[in-house]
């Protein structure tokens, strides 16, 4: 292979638009919802984030693969993104942490990639046209094949309304070993990122991860002092059983929702979610904490948002908003130590500005453990 | 499982219990847009901003950019802005930028005068570089700020101290648990050895209080260490040296950080140095964003940066923090932090589109990041971290060719005089664009070198990058280069890819057979048509034709701070070869203005000033203005200067691509110095409509023979001169002209290789030592040298019908010193009316005959009543900003309007203005940065910047200009005079109360306050290193003497530019009435 004569590939969108590029990663064809992420670093965390299940990720930063792949940067046991679109994939990985090149990592995990396309043009297309399904195909495409592939994209099942959690959740509950006498929290896995577990442990909790479909009784039987609702892929309207679980557990335990966990909390109390035009995917979104007035730069990855106006009044207060578009980024229950954020305080990739939320949650957990009861709070002034 | 109780059982879910329920979406947006709560400070009305003074190495045009942005932002927010800056070549000192502009020295003495007169409420010291920060520190320490109730905003005194003082900084870092390179001050070799045990080799040795870093070094072993420490202990006046842990070869990163009063901190940009630790970041090839850090590593640096800005306590605004990262284990050291806007901030602003200086100024007066809009997206806020979807590369530009005997090794002291930045979609593309923006033919320099020569050039030096590429071409591996240079393998892999593609191109079929896909793949790597022509053995114009035939034009992308996530409104573009073009054009008539490219000696911020003026004038005249430039340190590359900005190399290909895309009705290149002028001929041939003086006229004036003929026809005398084809012929012809004589090669770049010879022996020496070193063998120009004559610079402006001499600038030093290095005064102080009339008459004749439409700079020599012309350049000169400020007329604006068809009559500029004050320009020279060089002036230009002194009295103006150039004249004390025939000076200095000595005394420190050395002895170097004022010519000494006498008699007063120009207009009106 020479640099000027690389194996051809194409990205075909459901509307028939074709972007020609070059093949990298696993040789094959893939189909999924095309989204873009504006984070400059963190491609490995993005690929392995289960929230990207069913999606083809476009990186807006043009050089991807520069620092290779590290076993310490896995957000789950394997990549979940369906495909990877980059401007230029780096054949050389240069970093002492790197254990593997991106090419072999993608081959190993059967992730189809395309490089060399005008990712900025594609991003602008996604920004203005909204979320779209597409196919990455390795090989030359002629007119007929183009049509067939765009048909394939159109036929692909929509993410909206589907419950994708069974495809990503753990099949069995597991406890993370702990040597400390830490208060136990149950983390419901809707497509968990490992960093959430690490952050909880770091903040001082014993974490038991349970499958998404675990019932409230089963959860309470674990004798926890806190409940965490994880992130996860797809439409939060899909896993309806989860709305029920959250509703039943509401008020029983200090509760902390992250990303999809936040949306599930909103839905559980009777709110509504809606799909954003192109979602928020990146590591530079300013969020204002309305309680403290501070601004934090956050890591984001969501296509759906909780409709602020739909939450039944006098239960929740908005605690965080997105400074870019004013969407809801966080809320807290007015009486219970129950709060959630739309963004990713566990970062990975992204800034650590919001890691205080883990500490806050563990404070609530500790208080609850001490009191053996949920303390009633006035407002959400401590968040 | 027991729980005491369930709250939910006792509390119905819908019980209202909080003070407020969930806000509506509208309320939420209210948080975002609530304008009425903007916490702008109302207790401050008037703000003093300090500029950075004359351009020096390490502190250049970037502070004009930041100061201008700050002034505009604060005035826009309703504050009155007072500015002090002695540098007339800047945009910021234009009368329109601040409310009151003081072109006065940035010294405590003058700052106090300004504070006394203006009584500002606050002082913002973080936008004028180290000069402003030091001055503010001094004013604080001496209690001046306190006495006049001036509050320091932006950075408080403690923060400045903590950021600047090495020890305080290390303590602060230790407090928050961060590492800095370990260091210890020792006063004996034994102590040094004890300490070096703890840090290991290599170790850095820095002797205390030796200026210019002399005596220090890097020790790789015990023997070196012992030798350098001994030498250092000896050299240091206090006999101590600092032993520091070396982080040579570690990866170097910079983070640009912003903080507001609300403690919101954002990182604007990360920058990675391609040259690892050991090379000053100003001299390093740098790339934004960081390329070889994983998210975990980058976020750790981000966390550290936030901890540091909080610990140092920078209240608001931008800071630059440097880190070293061990490539083998990720260990991080904090190197330094600048609690102010810096050169890197300017680069980060241009690299991301985020206006750091503007936002920093607004934060200083109380605004919060989440309340200020992001100008680029309009809808989002300044509180965010830019995400970019391209790669930015900065390359430094050096001037070692001007300091031939200086070593070209790069180290911890900065040597570069300018820089270029280029934007590409990949590192390869941006690097290749940056390389051609440098306007240097580095490729042919390295091509001729042998492998062993190349291998010997792998130490840090200006040529290292092209040498590495050449070695890759010759088959050396990236690993080999890594071991030699410690440049990260990722960057080396990119260089190798470029070289591989070069080889592939060589083996491709003829370019006529290239299809569009192939063209695109080649062009998107970043190759220019010129390089491709070299690789394929064809002609670049032909390649261009073939490429366009295949549809291979570039597209233009937008710099938008957000990687296309939001709609961008800024018209800030760069080219690449992809699918989608984002430029929005309008139906208005467009004019392209070419900028001046990288700053270098002889072509500096003055030309940026002139091009920015052209943009403003043409914009006001209703044109759509398009700026093209490659220099990030400028006002011209601010995205709101022109209607559209193309950050592109100033080469024929790149400019023509923009012209093709924009289809302007005119292009202006006479205001940007040599860089655009070089393109005149080619662009004109390509049918580009060149406005102003035609390409032909420009080249006409450069043709020595034709110019000589013209002068004869017009009856304008020239010194005798001739051209020799060979050294032998030169010696023959020289006998006809006689000595002393000016000798130089036929192409002259800022006076390079130019010399005055006084005898045949000296001429022979010149031909032997200097001429024979020139790469090609140009013909040799010989000119009669008029000794003890005056040199006069003239800037004139012509619309084709009328020509007006805008001003005469009389040089202080006698003829023979490059006009860029001479001090000068306007209006002339010692010329008779007849001589002035003659000069004006000759100027008009020449301008008309050459066919100037715009500006022309003419140099004259005056001996007695005789006037000779030496050269004429039909373009903006570097004196334009100084002269414009001296006469109160924006000459560059006039020139731009003339090229658009206006007449001088319409502009109301028909006579030579005679200001009622004198303006003196003095230069600053970079000798201190080049070890062992004698600071002697000559026909080769070497100054980097200038100051301006204004006063009713010519000598007071000179005094101020000296102080403005950081060489204040003493009013008493000791004077050392070295040279012949200085008895007169001796007497006069004595009568002014000075102790005059005639012989230098050897000792640790010189025992004089002023040195006059017309003989060019080593004493000059000593004075320079001790920061003492020195004068190298008799004329300068005479002026200094009179200036000292004047300042002892008359009060030094100050006046703002606005007042001076208003008086000027007033007196003119009186005259006409």
B36 touches chain A (CB under 8 A): no
Which segments of A256-338 does DSSP mark as H helices, in order? 260-268
Q: Which residues does chain A have within 8 Å of residue B296's beta carbon, measured at their own beta carbons?
A: 70, 72-73, 97, 348
Among all chains, which residue has been given the structure tokens 């900084």? B169
Q: Beta partners for B793? A: B809, B859
- Taking only the tens place, the pLDDT of each residue in A150-169 is 999 999 998 888 999 999 99
Contact A317 B20 (CB under 8 A): yes
pLDDT of residue B24: 43
Q: What is the pLDDT along chain A (383 residues), one digit of tens a residue?
A: 577 889 999 999 999 999 999 999 999 999 999 999 999 999 999 999 999 999 999 999 999 999 999 999 999 999 999 999 999 999 999 999 999 999 999 999 999 999 999 999 999 999 999 889 999 999 999 999 999 999 999 999 988 889 999 999 999 999 987 766 789 999 999 999 999 999 999 999 999 999 999 999 999 999 999 999 999 999 999 999 999 999 999 989 999 999 999 999 999 999 999 999 889 999 999 999 998 889 999 999 999 999 988 887 678 889 999 999 999 999 999 888 999 999 999 999 999 999 999 999 999 999 888 765 555 544 444 44
Mean pLDDT of B553-581: 94
Contact B652, B618 (CB under 8 A): no
Whole-angstrom distance, CA of residue B759 vs CA of residue B754: 15
Single out the catalytic residue among A259, A262, A280, A329. Answer: A259
Tokens for B58, please give them: 């390490």
List the B644-647 sheet strands across, edge first: B555-558, B572-576, B644-647, B624-629, B590-594, B666-668
Contact B28 A39 (CB under 8 A): no
Mutation to test the A interface, candidates B371, B536, B563, most A Cβ within 10 Å: B563
Contact B594, B675 (CB under 8 A): yes
Q: How many angstroms away from the CA of A219 is the closest CA of chain B?
A: 11
pLDDT of residue A379: 45
- Taking only the tens place, the pLDDT of each residue in B999-1043 is 888 776 788 999 999 999 999 988 988 889 999 999 999 999 999
Reported ipTM exceeds the 0.85 cut: yes
Contact B438, B427 (CB under 8 A): no
Whole-angstrom distance, CA of residue B831 vs CA of residue A141: 81
- Taking only the tens place, the pLDDT of each residue in B466-500 is 999 999 999 999 999 999 999 999 999 999 999 99
Contact A63 B18 (CB under 8 A): no
Q: Which residues does chain A have within 8 Å of residue B263's beta carbon, measured at their own beta carbons?
A: 294
Q: Which domains does chain A have, with CATH numbers?
A: 8-155 (3.50.30.20), 165-371 (3.40.50.880)
Secondary element (H or E) of residue B109: helix B108-118
Nearest residue of chain A to residue B391 (CA atoms): A62
Q: How many angstroms away from the CA of B275 is the closest CA of chain A?
A: 15
Please spell the DSSP secondary structure of B149-205, one letter per residue.
TPEE-SS-HHHHHHHH-HHHHHHHHHHTT-----EEEESSHHHHHHHHHHH-SSEEE
Whole-angstrom distance, CA of residue A159 vs CA of residue B148: 67
Phi, psi at residue B542, to the nearest 5°? -65, -45
Higher pLDDT, B449 or B405: B449
Of chain B residues 502-531, which have a CB less than 8 A from chain A?
A: 504-505, 508, 518, 521-522, 525
Q: Which residues does chain B have within 8 Å of residue A302's beta carbon, measured at their own beta carbons?
A: none
Q: Which residues does chain A have within 8 Å of residue B330's beta carbon, measured at their own beta carbons?
A: 96-97
Asked if pLDDT for residue B121 goes beyond 70, the answer is yes
Report residue B748's pLDDT band, with 50, 70 and 90 as the boundaries: low
Task: Lowest mean pLDDT of A354-368, B775-789, B909-923, B1007-1021, name the range.
Answer: B775-789
Q: Which domains does chain B have, with CATH numbers?
A: 46-153 (3.40.50.20), 182-245 (3.30.1490.20), 251-388 (3.30.470.20), 575-700 (3.40.50.20), 720-780 (3.30.1490.20), 952-1049 (3.40.50.1380)
Q: How many angstroms away from the CA of B634 is the closest CA of chain A?
A: 27
pTM score, two decimals? Answer: 0.93
Contact A62 B379 (CB under 8 A): no
SS3 B487: coil
**What burial letters (b/e) apply to B171-184, b meaning 16+ CB within 10 Å?**
ebbeeeebebbebb
- Taking only the tens place, the pLDDT of each residue in B290-311 is 999 999 999 999 999 999 999 9
Q: How many angstroms away from the CA of A4 is the closest CA of chain B?
A: 6
Whole-angstrom distance, CA of residue A45 vs CA of residue A72: 10
C-beta neighbour count of B663 within 10 angstroms: 11
B42 touches chain A (CB under 8 A): no
Asked if pLDDT for residue B953 goes beyond 90, the answer is yes
User: For residue B705, what are the CA distances in angstroms to A77, B713, B1026?
Assistant: 78, 12, 47
Q: Which residues does chain A have within 8 Å of residue B488's beta carbon, measured at their own beta carbons?
A: 94
- Taking only the tens place, the pLDDT of each residue in B232-245 is 888 777 788 889 89
pLDDT of residue B651: 97
Contact A314 B11 (CB under 8 A): no
Q: Which residues does chain B have within 8 Å of residue A93's beta carbon, measured at their own beta carbons?
A: 490
Contact A4 B327 (CB under 8 A): no
Contact A61 B563 (CB under 8 A): yes
Which segments of chain A does DSSP mark as H helices, in order? 43-47, 102-108, 119-129, 143-155, 165-168, 194-203, 216-221, 240-249, 260-268, 356-371
B536 touches chain A (CB under 8 A): no
Report residue B402's pLDDT band, with 50, 70 and 90 as the boundaries: confident
Contact A3 B380 (CB under 8 A): no
Q: Give the nearest partner residue to B578 out of A41, A63, A118, using CB atoms.
A: A118
Report the relative pairing of strands A184-189 and A226-229 from DSSP bridges: parallel
Contact B995, B1012 (CB under 8 A): no
Of chain B residues 559-598, which have a CB less than 8 A from chain A?
A: 562-567, 578-580, 582
- Taking only the tens place, the pLDDT of each residue in B51-81 is 999 999 888 889 999 999 999 999 999 999 9
Q: Give the nearest partner residue to A120 out of B369, B426, B564, using CB atoms.
A: B564
DSSP 8-state assignment for residue B1000? P
Contact B386 A127 (CB under 8 A): no
B121 touches chain A (CB under 8 A): no
Whole-angstrom distance, CA of residue B916 vs CA of residue B1021: 38
Q: Which residues does chain B have within 8 Å of residue A216's beta carbon, measured at their own beta carbons?
A: none
3-state secondary structure B898-962: HHCCCCHHHHCCCCCCCCCCEEEEEEECCHHHCCCCCCCCCCCCCCCEEEEEEECCHHHHHHHHH
Q: Which residues does chain B have within 8 Å of residue A371's beta carbon, measured at their own beta carbons?
A: 4
Whole-angstrom distance, CA of residue B974 vs CA of residue B994: 6
Contact A126, B324 (CB under 8 A): no
B557 touches chain A (CB under 8 A): yes
Report residue B1066's pLDDT band, with 50, 70 and 90 as the boundaries: low
Higher pLDDT, B328 or B26: B328
Which segments of B770-922 does DSSP mark as H helices, in order? 833-850, 880-887, 891-899, 904-907
Residues 6 or more apart whose CB falls under 8 angstroms from that of B699 comprise B680, B681
Q: Which residues does chain A have within 8 Å of residue B256's beta carbon, measured at their own beta carbons?
A: none
Single out the catalytic residue among A53, A302, A320, A344. Answer: A344
pLDDT of residue B5: 31
Higher pLDDT, A102 or B231: A102
Contact A2 B385 (CB under 8 A): no
Nearest residue of chain B to residue A121 (CA atoms): B580
Q: Which residues does chain B have within 8 Å of residue A250's beta carbon, measured at their own beta carbons?
A: 8
Q: How many angstroms away from the CA of B428 is the closest CA of chain A?
A: 11
Q: Which residues does chain A have within 8 Å of residue B29's beta carbon, measured at their own beta carbons?
A: 326
Contact A4, B520 (CB under 8 A): no
Q: How many angstroms away from the CA of B13 is the closest CA of chain A?
A: 7
Q: How many angstroms away from the CA of B537 is the closest CA of chain A?
A: 19
B501 touches chain A (CB under 8 A): yes
A346 is annotated as an active-site residue:
yes
Residues 6 or more apart whose CB falls under 8 angstroms from that of B674 comprise B603
Q: Give the nearest partner residue to A314 out of B14, B369, B565, using CB atoms.
A: B14
B622 touches chain A (CB under 8 A): no
- Taking only the tens place, the pLDDT of each residue in B346-385 is 999 999 999 999 999 999 999 999 989 888 888 888 999 9
Report residue B128's pLDDT band, with 50, 70 and 90 as the boundaries: very high
Q: Which residues does chain B have within 8 Å of residue A127's beta carbon, measured at their own beta carbons?
A: 564-567
Q: How many angstroms away from the CA of B777 is the closest CA of chain A?
A: 41
Q: How many angstroms away from the CA of B543 is the closest CA of chain A?
A: 18
**What burial letters (b/e) apply to B1040-1067, b meaning 16+ CB within 10 Å?**
bbbbbbbbeeeebebbbbbebbeebeee
Nearest residue of chain A to residue B383 (CA atoms): A286
Cis bond leading into B202, ω under 30°?
A: yes
Q: What integer best gives the mean pLDDT of chain B?
A: 90
Contact A349 B386 (CB under 8 A): no
Mutation to test the A interface, candidates B372, B389, B431, most A Cβ within 10 Å: B389
A344 is annotated as an active-site residue:
yes
B294 touches chain A (CB under 8 A): yes
List the A328-333 sheet strands across, edge first: A174-175, A206-211, A184-189, A226-229, A255-258, A338-341, A328-333, A316-322, A273-289, A295-306
Contact B531, A91 (CB under 8 A): no
A33 is annotated as an active-site residue:
no
pLDDT of residue B19: 33
Of chain B residues 77-116, which have a CB less than 8 A from chain A?
A: none
List the B741-745 sheet strands across, edge first: B721-724, B780-784, B741-745, B755-757
């Amino acid at each position: 292979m020479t640099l000027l004569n690389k194996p051809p590939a194409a990205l075909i969108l459901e509307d028939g638009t074709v972007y020609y590029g070059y093949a990298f990663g696993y040789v094959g064809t893939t189909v999924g919802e095309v989204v873009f992420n504006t984070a400059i670093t963190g491609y490995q965390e993005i690929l392995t984030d289960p929230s990207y299940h069913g999606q083809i990720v476009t990186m807006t930063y043009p050089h991807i693969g520069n620092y290779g792949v590290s076993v310490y940067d896995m957000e789950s046991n394997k990549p979940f993104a369906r495909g990877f679109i980059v401007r230029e994939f780096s054949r050389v990985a240069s970093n002492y942490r790197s254990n593997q090149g991106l090419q072999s990592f993608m081959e190993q995990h059967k992730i189809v990639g395309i490089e060399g396309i005008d990712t900025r043009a594609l991003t602008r297309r996604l920004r203005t046209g909204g979320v779209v399904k597409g196919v990455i195909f390795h090989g030359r495409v002629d007119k007929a094949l183009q049509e067939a592939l765009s048909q394939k994209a159109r036929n692909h099942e929509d993410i909206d309304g589907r419950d994708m959690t069974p495809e990503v959740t753990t099949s069995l509950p597991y406890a993370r070993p702990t040597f400390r006498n830490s208060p136990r929290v149950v983390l419901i896995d809707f497509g968990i990122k490992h960093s959430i577990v690490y952050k909880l442990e770091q903040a001082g909790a014993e974490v038991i991860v349970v499958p998404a479909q675990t019932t409230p009784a089963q959860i309470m039987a674990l004798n926890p002092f806190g409940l965490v609702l994880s992130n996860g892929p797809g439409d939060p309207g899909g896993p309806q059983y989860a709305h029920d679980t959250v509703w039943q557990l509401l008020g029983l335990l200090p509760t902390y929702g992250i990303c999809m966990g936040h949306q599930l909390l909103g839905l559980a109390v009777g709110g509504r979610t809606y799909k954003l035009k192109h979602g928020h995917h990146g590591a530079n979104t300013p969020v204002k904490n309305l309680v403290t007035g501070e601004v934090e730069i956050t890591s984001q990855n969501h296509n759906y948002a909780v409709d602020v106006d739909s939450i039944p009044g006098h239960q929740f207060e908005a605690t965080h908003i997105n400074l870019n578009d004013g969407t809801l980024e966080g809320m807290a229950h007015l009486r219970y130590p129950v709060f959630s954020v739309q963004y990713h305080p566990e970062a990975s990739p992204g800034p650590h500005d919001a890691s205080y939320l883990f500490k806050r949650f563990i404070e609530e957990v500790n208080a609850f453990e001490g009191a053996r009861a949920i303390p009633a709070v006035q407002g959400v002034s401590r968040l | 499982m027991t729980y005491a109780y369930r709250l939910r059982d006792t509390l119905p879910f819908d019980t209202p219990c909080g003070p407020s329920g969930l806000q509506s979406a509208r309320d939420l947006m209210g948080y975002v847009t609530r304008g009425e709560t903007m916490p702008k400070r109302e207790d401050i009305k008037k703000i003093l901003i300090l500029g950075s003074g004359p351009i020096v190495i390490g502190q250049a045009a970037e502070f004009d950019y930041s100061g201008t942005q700050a002034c505009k932002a604060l005035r826009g927010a309703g504050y009155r802005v007072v500015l002090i800056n002695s540098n007339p070549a800047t945009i910021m000192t234009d009368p329109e930028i601040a409310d009151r502009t003081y072109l006065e020295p940035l010294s405590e003495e003058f700052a106090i005068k300004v504070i006394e007169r203006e009584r500002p409420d606050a002082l913002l010291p973080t936008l004028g570089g180290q000069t402003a920060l030091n001055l503010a520190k001094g004013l604080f320490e001496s209690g001046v700020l306190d006495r006049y109730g001036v509050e320091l905003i932006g950075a408080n005194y403690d923060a400045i101290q903590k950021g600047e003082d090495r020890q305080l900084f290390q303590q602060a870092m230790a407090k928050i648990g961060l590492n800095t390179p370990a260091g210890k001050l020792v006063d004996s070799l034994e102590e040094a050895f004890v300490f070096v045990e703890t840090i290991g080799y290599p170790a850095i040795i820095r002797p205390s209080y030796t200026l210019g870093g002399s005596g220090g070094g890097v020790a790789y072993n015990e023997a070196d260490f012992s030798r350098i420490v001994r030498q250092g202990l000896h050299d240091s006046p206090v006999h101590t040296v600092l032993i520091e842990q070396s982080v040579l070869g570690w990866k170097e990163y910079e983070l640009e950080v912003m903080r507001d009063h609300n403690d919101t901190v954002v990182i604007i940009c990360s920058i990675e140095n391609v040259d690892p630790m050991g090379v000053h970041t100003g001299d390093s090839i740098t790339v934004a964003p960081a390329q070889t850090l994983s998210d975990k590593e980058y976020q750790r640096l981000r966390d550290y940066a936030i901890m540091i800005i909080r610990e140092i306590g920078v209240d608001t605004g931008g800071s630059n923090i440097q880190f070293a990262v061990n490539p083998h284990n990720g260990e991080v050291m904090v190197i330094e932090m600048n609690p102010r806007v810096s050169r890197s901030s300017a680069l980060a602003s241009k690299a991301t589109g985020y206006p750091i200086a503007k936002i920093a100024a607004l934060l200083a007066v109380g605004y919060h990041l989440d309340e200020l809009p992001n100008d680029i997206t309009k809808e989002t806020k300044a509180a965010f971290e830019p995400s970019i979807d391209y790669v930015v590369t900065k390359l430094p530009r050096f001037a070692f060719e001007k300091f031939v005997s200086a070593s070209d090794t790069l180290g911890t002291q900065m040597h570069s005089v300018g820089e270029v930045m280029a934007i590409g979609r990949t590192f390869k593309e941006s690097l290749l664009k940056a390389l051609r923006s440098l306007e240097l033919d580095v490729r042919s320099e390295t091509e001729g070198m042998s492998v062993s020569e190349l291998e010997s050039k792998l130490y840090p030096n200006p040529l290292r990058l092209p040498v590495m590429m050449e070695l890759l071409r010759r088959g050396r591996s990236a690993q080999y280069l890594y071991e030699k240079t410690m440049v990260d393998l990722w960057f080396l892999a990119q260089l190798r890819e470029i070289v591989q593609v070069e080889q592939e191109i060589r083996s491709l079929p003829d370019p006529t057979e290239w299809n569009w896909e192939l063209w695109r793949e080649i062009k998107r790597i970043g190759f220019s048509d010129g390089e491709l022509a070299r690789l394929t053995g064809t002609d670049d114009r032909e390649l261009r034709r073939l490429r366009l035939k295949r549809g291979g034009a570039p597209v233009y992308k937008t710099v938008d701070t957000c990687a296309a996530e939001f709609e961008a409104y800024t018209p800030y573009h760069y080219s690449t070869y992809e699918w989608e073009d984002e430029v929005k054009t309008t139906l208005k008539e467009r004019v392209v203005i070419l900028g001046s490219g990288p700053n270098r000696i002889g072509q500096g911020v003055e030309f940026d000033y002139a091009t920015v003026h052209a943009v403003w004038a043409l914009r006001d005249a209703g044109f759509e203005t398009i700026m093209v430039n490659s220099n990030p340190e400028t006002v011209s590359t601010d995205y709101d200067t022109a209607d559209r900005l193309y950050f592109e190399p100033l080469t024929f290909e790149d400019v023509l691509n923009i012209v093709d895309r924009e289809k302007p009705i005119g292009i202006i290149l006479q205001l940007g110095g040599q860089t655009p002028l070089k393109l005149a001929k080619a662009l004109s041939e390509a049918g580009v409509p060149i406005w102003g003086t035609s390409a032909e006229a420009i080249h006409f004036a450069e043709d020595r023979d034709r110019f000589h003929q013209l002068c004869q026809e017009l009856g304008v005398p020239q010194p005798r001169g001739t051209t020799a084809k060979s050294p032998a012929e030169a010696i023959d012809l020289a006998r006809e002209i006689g000595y002393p004589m000016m000798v130089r090669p036929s192409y002259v770049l800022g006076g390079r290789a130019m010399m005055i010879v006084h005898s045949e022996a000296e001429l022979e020496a010149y031909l032997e030592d200097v001429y024979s070193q020139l790469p090609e063998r140009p013909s040799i120009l010989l000119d009669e040298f008029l000794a003890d004559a005056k040199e006069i610079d003239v800037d004139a402006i012509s619309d084709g019908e009328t020509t007006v001499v805008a001003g005469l600038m009389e040089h202080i030093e006698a003829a023979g010193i490059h006009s860029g290095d001479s001090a000068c005064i306007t209006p002339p102080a010692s010329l008779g009316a007849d001589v002035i009339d003659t000069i004006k008459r000759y100027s008009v004749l020449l301008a008309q005959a050459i066919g100037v439409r715009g500006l022309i700079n003419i140099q004259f020599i005056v001996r007695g009543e005789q006037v000779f012309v030496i050269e004429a350049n039909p373009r903006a000169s570097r004196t334009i900003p100084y002269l414009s400020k001296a006469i109160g007329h924006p000459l560059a604006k006039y020139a731009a309007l003339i090229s658009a068809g206006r007449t001088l009559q319409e502009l109301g500029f028909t006579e030579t203005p005679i200001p009622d004050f004198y303006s003196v320009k003095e230069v600053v020279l970079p000798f201190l940065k080049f070890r062992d060089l004698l600071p002697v002036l000559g026909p080769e230009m070497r100054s980097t910047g200038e100051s301006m002194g204004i006063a009713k009295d010519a000598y007071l103006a000179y005094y101020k200009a000296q102080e403005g150039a950081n060489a204040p004249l003493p009013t008493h004390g000791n004077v050392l005079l070295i040279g012949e025939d200085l008895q007169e000076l001796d007497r006069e200095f004595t009568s002014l109360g000075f102790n005059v000595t005639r012989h230098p005394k050897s000792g640790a420190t010189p025992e004089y306050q002023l040195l006059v050395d017309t003989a060019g002895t080593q004493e000059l170097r000593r004075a320079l290193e001790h920061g003492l004022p020195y004068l190298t010519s008799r004329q300068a000494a005479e002026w200094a003497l009179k200036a000292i006498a004047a300042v002892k008699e008359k009060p030094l007063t100050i006046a703002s530019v606005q007042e001076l120009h208003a008086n000027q207009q007033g007196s003119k009106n009186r005259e006409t009435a």
